[in-house]
Homo-oligomer: A and B are copies of this chain.
């Protein structure tokens, strides 16, 4: 679970609420119609932008930003080296019975054990990676779009408020509060976009990059196993994919 996503959002809201309370009351910042136009408009326009299935699927995608387990490339490399040793000592076929918890690596190892040719194994596995990336990019796209639309509806709401206010300037004492309410939609749009939608889109992109790196290591590993490479060399080769910090840990 990625505790940072939740803590970060909570901390941001905490800071904003504190700022509000230092200069006034929270009540002045809660206006149901304003919330409706910004949240409702952003959600409604998302259905104009994306196919229904994709929109409903995005809630599941969003969970990835909160709960996804960080892939552990080091454990993967250890497992691959282990499999390479089996392949060298016994045979490729022996891999069929090996215990491989990761389903993507398992798929590749089974293909290798079946005697599939290198270019085919690579093509099957890379197709899977490329379509995973495409789906992730789509999930990320929805949150980016919501991050663009929330401030747009904030501005539309503020314009509605301003036009209504300007039509009724007779009572000067009402101008201030009316303008305050008009600004609330801009405020909601800015908070939603910059605290929720855009950061989650960035996190999803980072998660996708981590998954991709993990799967690319698996592909290279399966190819190396298929070619009967020396387990020690396999280890060196795959560690080139990791940052030096991570690498030192394995050597230690």
> Interface residues, chain A, CB within 8 Å of chain B?
2-5, 7-9, 11-12, 15-16, 18-20, 22-24, 28-29, 33-34, 36-37, 40-41, 44-55, 57, 65, 70, 124, 127-128, 131, 135, 138, 145, 149, 152-153, 155-157, 159-169, 173, 175-177, 179-180, 183-184, 186-187, 190-191, 193-195, 198-200, 202-203, 206-207, 209-210, 237, 240-243, 245
Contacts and interface: CB of A to CB of B under 8 A. Distances in A.
A110 to B, nearest CB: 11
A252 B208 CA distance: 28
A60 B146 CA distance: 27
Nearest to A177: B167
Nearest to A36: B15
- Complex copy number for this chain: 5
Nearest to A179: B166
A167 B20 CA distance: 12
A223 to B, nearest CB: 12
Closest 5 CB pairs of A and B: A8-B48, A48-B199, A8-B47, A166-B180, A23-B164
B4 A48 contact: yes
A176 B140 CA distance: 43
Contacts of A163: 24, 28-29, 180, 183-184, 187
